[in-house]
Structure 1
Amino acid sequence: MYPLPPVQALPGNQDRMTRFLELIDGLANRRIVVIGDVIADEFISGRISRVSREAPVLILSYDSTQIVPGGAGNAANNVATLGGRIDIFGLIGRDEAGRRTVAGFAPGVNSKGLVKLPKHLTPTKTRILAGGTHSAKQQVVRIDRVPTLNLDAAFHRSFSRSVLRAVRDCDGVILSDYGSGLVTSTLAASVLKAVHGRSKRRRPIPVLVDSRYNLLTFKGFTACTPNESEVEALLDIHVDDDAVLK
């Protein structure tokens, strides 16, 4: 058996990887403010038992249910895992999904900025996972329970004040907009203004945006993180190779 030749990095790739690792290490103890739509990601797992006689569908024997933070909550957990200190601002309900979502935050995530409304249901995305006893489970269906938000002007003003107090003393901001109406263009502009107003800071504060439906309304920010389908819909293009992106 012949030994495989060593894999050589493309020109410049090593420098980019080194810089990437430096940026990750630089997150340690950085205070990051995450603002946006907190979602309960629910996973219901079951083992395939048989096919139903009522319809051509699988019958699953229930295994477990897990709820983890999704949306802005997932972004907060990811940064905290890399060593950042997170202040998260969002909206959840006083329900079981909300409680379990908060319980799923990683150490380093401060959830005191979450507003808990008694009559609000925490947005929940339920994924049904099916598989055999000794095989990996796969998602077979997803059920979304996303309530419509009817937030008045007084709520938005109060929420904005809380956010801006935190932004004045942070090292970075993440806006996570899944279209609920919580992250408005007015709030985004206020955050950007507050960041730019910190003239005594030697380095600019990065403000990152992840918006599911309204990305083009966010202007002047450091970076955005659309996926391929979102880019195609926004720019009316078909991304089939790297040349299109250039």
Structure 2
Amino acid sequence: MQTVTTKRLKEILRAFKGKEMIVVGDIMLDHFIKGNVSRISPEAPVPVVAVNKEFFVAGGAGNVAVNLAVLGAKPILVSVVGRDAGGELLKDFLRKQNVDISGVAEDYDRPTTQKVRVMAEQQQIVRFDRESKHPVAHDAAATCMQRFNQAVKTAKGVILSDYGKGMLSDKNIKALIDACRKRKIPVCVDPKIDNFKKYKNITCMTPNTKEAWEGSGLAPKSGEEAMENLGQKILKMLNADSILITRSADGMSLFEKGKKKPVTVKATAREVFDVTGAGDTVISVFTLALACGAKLHEAAVLSNYAAGIVVGKSGTATVTPQEIEEVLA
């Protein structure tokens, strides 16, 4: 693998500022209720949580957009919410995070996707979800595509963040990818297994090891040879320019079209506290780096450093260019 200098990585980081990026996908409202447990309810054998903290953040594709904003880019989010209080809370949060929500449409026939987590100390007691997995209503989908077609004229990169909630349909997946290819801008995908094989002709897909095995249809095997065969199969299956498989403690493996051997990037995390949102950070930094002219292996190295930082934080976290620069020093 060609060595990537610290100087080059810092050049790429400094080019992040002001880059227009589009995120298309399923957004959700993550609602956290935190407290302490000191007794069991007399009504049922369940813990009583004395709440001392409650907050909302953007999840799914919304977290990808927030990651891009924190990195200094100008993210335009294309998605849907319901016409409800959750949708208003989510849009308000995103505005405050400097995310352009002009591409977020309201779908009257569905609720805003919400995941409510009740936590005692650092332990999750229960989670309950409000969601619809049906395709987005025709009018809302048309509004989203209209905004995308307008934004893609000046955007430098596109991320498709698929959580299987209906935003990314067979029809618009192809249209989105075709539009990016026509304008020669990178289009990278964080896949949902059900739609894995539909993302053909993309710049990159960033599955974790479990997603890669499930999406390929192969039975999981251990060893580097098995990993190489897996990456090459997915490359051919999707006719992708590259596949970046994230492998937790084993780092990342980058497969490029026309190259027999993958580039392996070793993990940089010193301490793993919470992996929540790490995949969002990886695809955000990786795609933004490509949008700034980075080569695939340069983008992989930079995103690996970012992931190493974010897994050392609690909750759905983000990372700043300054934090990445500090670990490069």
TM-score bracket, shorter-length normalisation: 0.7 to 0.9
Query: Pick from 105, 113, 121: which aligns with 1:115?
Result: 105
- 2-side partners of 1:95 and 1:32: how far apart? 27
Residue 233 in structure 1 maps to residue 218 in structure 2: no
Deviations along 1:175-211, one digit per CA (max 9) or x if unpaired, are 111112221122122122222323xxxxx31111112
Cα RMSD of the aligned pairs, angstroms, is: 2.4
2:190 is equivalent to residue 210 of structure 1: yes
Listed as ranges, the matches of 1:68-217 within 5 Å are 68-105=57-94, 107-131=97-121, 137-198=122-183, 204-213=184-193, 214-217=195-198
Cα gap change, 1:217 to 1:148, in 2 (>3 Å): closer
How far apart are 1:62 and its partner, in Å?
A: 1.4
Give the SS at the match of 1:126.
strand
Deviations 1:157-179 (A, max 9, x none): 34322211111210000111111
Deviations 1:30-68 (A, max 9, x none): 000111111111111111121234544321111222111
Does the residue aligned with 2:155 lie in a helix, a strand or coil? coil
Q: CA offset at residue 22 of structure 1? A: 4.3
Structure 1: distance between partners of 2:129 and 2:30: 10
What is the TM-score normalised by the length of structure 1?
A: 0.81
After TM superposition, the score normalised by the length of structure 2 is 0.62
Q: Which AA in structure 2 matches 1:127?
A: R
Give the secondary structure class of the aligned counterpart of 1:238. coil
Per-residue deviation at 1:140?
A: 2.6
Of 149-158 and 214-223, deviating more is: 149-158
Shift of 1:72: 0.7
After superposing the two structures, state which structure 1 stretch, 55-64 or 81-90, moved more: 55-64
Tell me the secondary structure at the aligned position of residue 89 of structure 1: strand
Structure 1: which 5+ runs fail to align? 1-10, 132-136, 199-203
Q: 1:92–1:129: structure 2 CA closer, same or farther, 3 Å change rule?
A: same
Secondary structure class of the residue paired with 2:4: helix
Q: Distance in 2 between matches of 1:242 and 1:22?
A: 32
Structure 2 vs 1, CA of residues 63 and 184 (structure 1 numbering), >3 Å: closer, same or farther?
A: same
What is the SS of the residue equivalent to 2:13?
Answer: helix
SS of 1:230's partner is helix
Separation (CA, whole Å) in 1 of partners of 2:51 and 2:107: 31
Matched letter for residue 174 of structure 2: A
- Of 31, 42, 45, the residue aligned with 2:20 is 31
- Kindly provide the CA deviation profile for residues 61-94 of structure 1, in whole angstroms up to 9, marking residues without a partner as x: 1122211111110000001100000111100122
How far apart in 1 are the matches of 2:92 and 2:142? Answer: 28
In the aligned structure 1, how far is the partner of 2:223 from the partner of 2:196? 22
Deviation at 1:116, TM superposition (A): 1.9
8 Å CA contact 1:185–1:217 kept in 2: the answer is yes
> Partners in 2 of 1:237 and 1:22 — Cα distance?
41
Question: Aligned to 1:197, what secondary structure does the other structure show?
Answer: helix
Partner SS for 2:142:
helix
User: Which letter maps to 2:163?
Assistant: Y
**What is the total number of aligned residue pairs between the two structures?**
225
Q: What whole-Å deviation, never above 9, does each CA across 1:120-160 have from its counterpart, x for those lacking one? A: 311001111102xxxxx222322121124354445433432
Moved over 6 A (4+): none
Compared with structure 1, are the counterparts of its residues 239 and 168 closer, same or farther at alpha carbon in structure 2 (3 Å cutoff)? farther
Instruction: Report if the CA contact (8 A) 1:80-1:86 is conserved.
Output: yes
Q: Which has the higher strand share?
A: 1
